[in-house]
Amino acid sequence: MATTTGVTTTDRAYETTHRALWALGDYPMVATELVAPLGPMLVAASGIGAGDRVLDIAAGAGNVAIPAALAGAAVIASDLCPDLLERGQEIAERHGANLVWREANAEALPFAHGEFDAVLSCVGVMFVPHHQEAADELVRVCRPGGVIGLISWTPEGFVGQMFAAMKPYVGPPPPGAQPPPLWGDPDYVRDLLGDRVTDFTAQRHALRVDRFADGAGFRDFFKANYGPTIAAYRGIADEPERVAELDAQLAELGDRYLAGSSAMEWEYLLVTARMR
Protein backbone atom coordinates (compact mmCIF):
# COMPACT_ATOMS: atom_id res chain seq x y z
CA MET A 1 0.00 0.00 0.00
CA ALA A 2 1.25 3.53 -0.77
CA THR A 3 2.33 5.60 2.20
CA THR A 4 2.37 9.37 2.45
CA THR A 5 3.54 11.95 4.89
CA GLY A 6 1.03 14.02 6.84
CA VAL A 7 -0.45 17.19 5.38
CA THR A 8 -2.02 19.68 7.76
CA THR A 9 -5.14 21.79 7.28
CA THR A 10 -2.90 24.82 6.75
CA ASP A 11 -0.99 22.92 4.08
CA ARG A 12 -4.26 22.00 2.36
CA ALA A 13 -5.22 25.66 2.19
CA TYR A 14 -1.88 26.52 0.65
CA GLU A 15 -2.20 23.54 -1.70
CA THR A 16 -5.42 25.08 -3.06
CA THR A 17 -3.71 28.44 -3.53
CA HIS A 18 -0.67 26.86 -5.17
CA ARG A 19 -2.84 24.84 -7.55
CA ALA A 20 -4.67 28.01 -8.61
CA LEU A 21 -1.38 29.88 -9.07
CA TRP A 22 -0.04 27.45 -11.64
CA ALA A 23 -3.38 27.33 -13.45
CA LEU A 24 -3.04 31.05 -14.23
CA GLY A 25 -1.95 32.02 -17.71
CA ASP A 26 -0.49 29.33 -19.97
CA TYR A 27 2.41 27.53 -18.33
CA PRO A 28 2.44 24.80 -21.01
CA MET A 29 3.32 27.55 -23.50
CA VAL A 30 6.21 28.62 -21.28
CA ALA A 31 7.28 24.98 -21.01
CA THR A 32 7.12 24.21 -24.71
CA GLU A 33 8.44 27.50 -26.11
CA LEU A 34 11.17 28.27 -23.57
CA VAL A 35 12.29 25.37 -21.36
CA ALA A 36 11.53 22.30 -23.49
CA PRO A 37 15.24 21.43 -24.05
CA LEU A 38 15.73 20.84 -20.32
CA GLY A 39 13.54 17.73 -20.26
CA PRO A 40 15.54 15.53 -22.65
CA MET A 41 18.74 16.78 -21.02
CA LEU A 42 17.60 15.58 -17.59
CA VAL A 43 16.44 12.25 -19.03
CA ALA A 44 19.84 11.70 -20.63
CA ALA A 45 21.81 12.83 -17.56
CA SER A 46 19.79 10.42 -15.39
CA GLY A 47 20.44 7.50 -17.74
CA ILE A 48 16.76 6.72 -18.30
CA GLY A 49 16.13 3.77 -20.58
CA ALA A 50 13.62 1.13 -21.63
CA GLY A 51 11.79 -0.51 -18.75
CA ASP A 52 12.80 1.96 -16.07
CA ARG A 53 10.04 2.93 -13.63
CA VAL A 54 10.15 6.74 -13.58
CA LEU A 55 8.30 9.32 -11.52
CA ASP A 56 8.30 12.93 -12.72
CA ILE A 57 7.43 15.18 -9.74
CA ALA A 58 5.74 18.53 -10.41
CA ALA A 59 5.70 17.44 -14.02
CA GLY A 60 3.77 20.40 -15.40
CA ALA A 61 3.11 19.74 -19.07
CA GLY A 62 5.51 16.79 -19.18
CA ASN A 63 8.86 18.25 -20.25
CA VAL A 64 10.63 15.33 -18.56
CA ALA A 65 7.87 12.73 -18.48
CA ILE A 66 7.26 12.72 -22.23
CA PRO A 67 10.89 12.22 -23.38
CA ALA A 68 11.32 9.60 -20.64
CA ALA A 69 8.29 7.72 -21.97
CA LEU A 70 9.59 8.02 -25.53
CA ALA A 71 12.85 6.47 -24.29
CA GLY A 72 10.84 3.39 -23.31
CA ALA A 73 10.43 4.03 -19.60
CA ALA A 74 7.23 3.32 -17.64
CA VAL A 75 6.42 6.86 -16.50
CA ILE A 76 4.07 8.48 -14.04
CA ALA A 77 3.80 12.26 -14.40
CA SER A 78 2.56 13.78 -11.14
CA ASP A 79 1.53 17.36 -10.49
CA LEU A 80 -0.65 19.30 -8.08
CA CYS A 81 -2.45 21.15 -10.89
CA PRO A 82 -4.97 19.09 -12.90
CA ASP A 83 -5.10 21.73 -15.64
CA LEU A 84 -1.41 21.16 -16.36
CA LEU A 85 -1.84 17.39 -16.36
CA GLU A 86 -4.66 17.67 -18.88
CA ARG A 87 -2.58 19.82 -21.19
CA GLY A 88 0.40 17.52 -20.74
CA GLN A 89 -1.67 14.52 -21.71
CA GLU A 90 -2.72 16.28 -24.92
CA ILE A 91 0.92 17.05 -25.74
CA ALA A 92 1.94 13.46 -25.00
CA GLU A 93 -0.72 12.10 -27.33
CA ARG A 94 0.53 14.34 -30.14
CA HIS A 95 4.03 12.90 -29.63
CA GLY A 96 2.81 9.31 -29.38
CA ALA A 97 4.02 8.96 -25.79
CA ASN A 98 2.20 6.58 -23.44
CA LEU A 99 2.35 7.39 -19.73
CA VAL A 100 0.20 7.84 -16.64
CA TRP A 101 -0.86 11.29 -15.40
CA ARG A 102 -1.56 11.56 -11.67
CA GLU A 103 -2.61 14.49 -9.48
CA ALA A 104 -0.34 14.49 -6.41
CA ASN A 105 1.14 16.77 -3.79
CA ALA A 106 4.95 16.52 -3.88
CA GLU A 107 5.03 16.77 -0.08
CA ALA A 108 2.72 13.76 0.31
CA LEU A 109 3.18 11.47 -2.67
CA PRO A 110 0.62 8.66 -3.07
CA PHE A 111 3.28 6.07 -3.95
CA ALA A 112 5.00 3.26 -2.07
CA HIS A 113 8.50 3.25 -0.60
CA GLY A 114 11.06 2.40 -3.28
CA GLU A 115 8.46 2.20 -6.05
CA PHE A 116 10.58 3.87 -8.75
CA ASP A 117 13.95 3.31 -10.41
CA ALA A 118 14.29 7.05 -11.06
CA VAL A 119 12.66 10.11 -9.52
CA LEU A 120 13.04 13.27 -11.57
CA SER A 121 11.93 16.89 -11.48
CA CYS A 122 12.69 19.71 -13.89
CA VAL A 123 12.12 23.23 -12.47
CA GLY A 124 9.21 21.67 -10.61
CA VAL A 125 9.87 20.39 -7.09
CA MET A 126 11.81 23.59 -6.41
CA PHE A 127 8.46 25.41 -6.18
CA VAL A 128 7.08 23.16 -3.44
CA PRO A 129 6.88 25.31 -0.27
CA HIS A 130 8.51 23.00 2.27
CA HIS A 131 11.79 21.85 0.83
CA GLN A 132 12.84 19.19 3.32
CA GLU A 133 9.43 17.51 3.17
CA ALA A 134 9.60 17.42 -0.63
CA ALA A 135 13.16 16.06 -0.58
CA ASP A 136 12.17 13.39 1.93
CA GLU A 137 9.35 12.27 -0.33
CA LEU A 138 11.41 12.02 -3.51
CA VAL A 139 13.98 9.97 -1.57
CA ARG A 140 11.27 7.79 -0.03
CA VAL A 141 9.75 6.66 -3.32
CA CYS A 142 13.08 5.93 -5.04
CA ARG A 143 14.42 2.39 -4.68
CA PRO A 144 17.86 1.61 -3.23
CA GLY A 145 20.36 2.14 -6.04
CA GLY A 146 17.87 4.24 -7.96
CA VAL A 147 18.55 7.64 -9.51
CA ILE A 148 17.41 11.08 -8.43
CA GLY A 149 17.69 13.77 -11.11
CA LEU A 150 16.84 17.45 -10.65
CA ILE A 151 17.05 20.65 -12.64
CA SER A 152 16.49 23.91 -10.75
CA TRP A 153 16.98 27.59 -11.54
CA THR A 154 19.88 29.11 -9.60
CA PRO A 155 19.48 32.13 -7.29
CA GLU A 156 22.13 34.04 -9.26
CA GLY A 157 20.73 33.21 -12.70
CA PHE A 158 18.08 34.95 -14.75
CA VAL A 159 15.00 33.25 -13.30
CA GLY A 160 16.32 33.58 -9.75
CA GLN A 161 16.82 37.29 -10.38
CA MET A 162 13.31 37.55 -11.83
CA PHE A 163 11.84 36.15 -8.60
CA ALA A 164 14.02 38.55 -6.60
CA ALA A 165 12.63 41.45 -8.64
CA MET A 166 9.04 40.32 -8.04
CA LYS A 167 9.47 39.60 -4.31
CA PRO A 168 8.66 43.15 -3.06
CA TYR A 169 5.39 43.09 -5.01
CA VAL A 170 3.92 39.86 -3.67
CA GLY A 171 2.42 39.03 -0.30
CA PRO A 172 4.39 37.15 2.36
CA PRO A 173 4.68 33.39 1.86
CA PRO A 174 2.88 31.05 4.27
CA PRO A 175 4.75 30.11 7.46
CA GLY A 176 7.61 27.73 6.78
CA ALA A 177 7.64 28.21 3.00
CA GLN A 178 11.11 28.58 1.51
CA PRO A 179 12.32 30.43 -1.62
CA PRO A 180 12.33 28.21 -4.73
CA PRO A 181 15.79 29.25 -6.03
CA LEU A 182 17.48 27.69 -2.99
CA TRP A 183 17.24 24.41 -4.94
CA GLY A 184 19.76 25.97 -7.35
CA ASP A 185 22.46 25.93 -4.63
CA PRO A 186 24.36 22.60 -4.75
CA ASP A 187 25.29 22.65 -1.07
CA TYR A 188 21.66 23.24 -0.13
CA VAL A 189 20.43 20.31 -2.24
CA ARG A 190 23.17 18.07 -0.86
CA ASP A 191 22.00 18.91 2.67
CA LEU A 192 18.36 18.19 1.75
CA LEU A 193 19.24 14.73 0.45
CA GLY A 194 21.82 14.06 3.16
CA ASP A 195 23.62 10.75 3.53
CA ARG A 196 20.72 8.88 1.98
CA VAL A 197 22.35 9.31 -1.44
CA THR A 198 25.76 8.71 -2.96
CA ASP A 199 27.44 9.75 -6.23
CA PHE A 200 26.07 13.27 -5.81
CA THR A 201 26.97 15.51 -8.75
CA ALA A 202 25.96 19.11 -9.37
CA GLN A 203 26.72 21.06 -12.54
CA ARG A 204 25.77 24.56 -13.59
CA HIS A 205 24.59 24.99 -17.16
CA ALA A 206 22.77 27.67 -19.12
CA LEU A 207 19.62 27.42 -21.21
CA ARG A 208 19.82 29.60 -24.32
CA VAL A 209 16.55 31.51 -24.85
CA ASP A 210 16.22 33.39 -28.13
CA ARG A 211 12.48 34.07 -27.93
CA PHE A 212 12.61 37.81 -27.06
CA ALA A 213 13.81 40.85 -28.97
CA ASP A 214 14.03 43.01 -25.86
CA GLY A 215 13.29 43.08 -22.15
CA ALA A 216 9.80 44.45 -22.67
CA GLY A 217 8.98 41.46 -24.85
CA PHE A 218 10.11 39.08 -22.13
CA ARG A 219 8.10 40.98 -19.51
CA ASP A 220 4.91 41.00 -21.55
CA PHE A 221 5.19 37.29 -22.34
CA PHE A 222 5.55 36.42 -18.65
CA LYS A 223 2.77 38.83 -17.63
CA ALA A 224 0.44 36.95 -19.98
CA ASN A 225 1.54 33.36 -19.45
CA TYR A 226 3.51 32.68 -16.23
CA GLY A 227 1.42 32.10 -13.11
CA PRO A 228 3.75 33.67 -10.50
CA THR A 229 4.19 36.81 -12.62
CA ILE A 230 0.47 37.10 -13.27
CA ALA A 231 -0.19 36.73 -9.53
CA ALA A 232 2.34 39.45 -8.70
CA TYR A 233 0.61 41.90 -11.01
CA ARG A 234 -2.85 40.99 -9.78
CA GLY A 235 -1.78 41.79 -6.24
CA ILE A 236 -0.85 45.37 -7.20
CA ALA A 237 -3.49 45.95 -9.87
CA ASP A 238 -4.98 48.88 -7.92
CA GLU A 239 -1.57 50.53 -7.48
CA PRO A 240 -0.53 51.92 -10.89
CA GLU A 241 2.75 53.34 -9.60
CA ARG A 242 3.86 49.93 -8.35
CA VAL A 243 2.73 48.31 -11.59
CA ALA A 244 4.91 50.77 -13.49
CA GLU A 245 7.84 50.04 -11.15
CA LEU A 246 7.58 46.30 -11.68
CA ASP A 247 7.15 46.80 -15.43
CA ALA A 248 10.38 48.79 -15.52
CA GLN A 249 12.33 46.35 -13.35
CA LEU A 250 11.38 43.27 -15.36
CA ALA A 251 12.09 44.98 -18.67
CA GLU A 252 15.47 46.16 -17.36
CA LEU A 253 16.30 42.63 -16.21
CA GLY A 254 15.50 41.26 -19.64
CA ASP A 255 17.55 43.93 -21.41
CA ARG A 256 20.48 43.32 -19.06
CA TYR A 257 20.54 39.60 -19.84
CA LEU A 258 20.13 40.20 -23.57
CA ALA A 259 22.99 42.72 -23.41
CA GLY A 260 22.42 43.75 -27.01
CA SER A 261 22.38 40.16 -28.30
CA SER A 262 19.52 38.07 -29.66
CA ALA A 263 19.48 35.52 -26.83
CA MET A 264 19.57 35.23 -23.04
CA GLU A 265 21.41 32.63 -20.97
CA TRP A 266 19.29 31.26 -18.10
CA GLU A 267 21.49 29.48 -15.55
CA TYR A 268 20.29 26.25 -13.94
CA LEU A 269 21.70 23.54 -11.70
CA LEU A 270 21.66 19.91 -12.82
CA VAL A 271 21.84 17.45 -9.92
CA THR A 272 22.06 13.67 -10.12
CA ALA A 273 22.49 11.29 -7.21
CA ARG A 274 22.04 7.61 -6.49
CA MET A 275 20.13 6.16 -3.56
CA ARG A 276 22.21 4.11 -1.12
| Cβ-contact 209, 263 below 8 angstroms | yes
Say if residues 52 and 120 touch (Cβ distance below 8 Å).
no
Separation between Cα atoms, residue 166 and residue 33, nearest integer Å: 22
Are 56 and 75 spatial neighbours (Cβ–Cβ below 8 Å)? yes
For the chain, where are the E strands, in sequence order?
53-56, 74-79, 100-103, 116-122, 142-153, 197-209, 264-275
Q: Which residues are registered as beta bridge partners of 119?
A: 55, 148
Write phi, then psi, for 239 (nearest 5 degrees). Answer: -125, 80
CA separation, residue 88 to residues 74, 78, 92, 124, 250 (Å): 16, 11, 6, 14, 28
Is the model's pTM score more than 0.85?
yes
Interval 187-233: pLDDT, tens: 999 999 999 999 999 999 999 999 999 999 999 999 999 999 999 99
Report the pLDDT value the prediction gives residue 250, as an integer from 0 to 100. 98
Averaged confidence pLDDT in the chain: 94
The CA-CA-CA angle for residues 124, 33, 29, to 5°, reads 70
**Which is it for strands 74-79 and 53-56: parallel, antiparallel or unpaired?**
parallel
Q: What is the DSSP string of 155-211?
A: SSSHHHHHHHHHGGGSPPPPTT---GGGGG-HHHHHHHHGGGEEEEEEEEEEEEE--
Task: Supply the DSSP symbol for 105.
Answer: B
**The predicted structure's pLDDT at residue 227:** 96
Tell me the CB-side half-sphere exposure of residue 60, using CA atoms within 13 A: 28
Cβ neighbors of 42 (< 8 A, separation 6 or more) are 64, 120, 122, 149, 150, 151, 270
CB 24 within 8 A of CB 231: yes
Which residue stretches of the chain have pLDDT < 70? 1-12
Ordered by where they begin, the domains of the chain are 9-206+269-275 (3.40.50.150)
What's the confidence (pLDDT) of residue 11? 64
Tell me how many degrees the CA angle 38-61-184 measures, rounded to the nearest 5. Answer: 40
The 10s digit of each residue's pLDDT in 4-27 is: 444 444 466 778 888 899 999 999
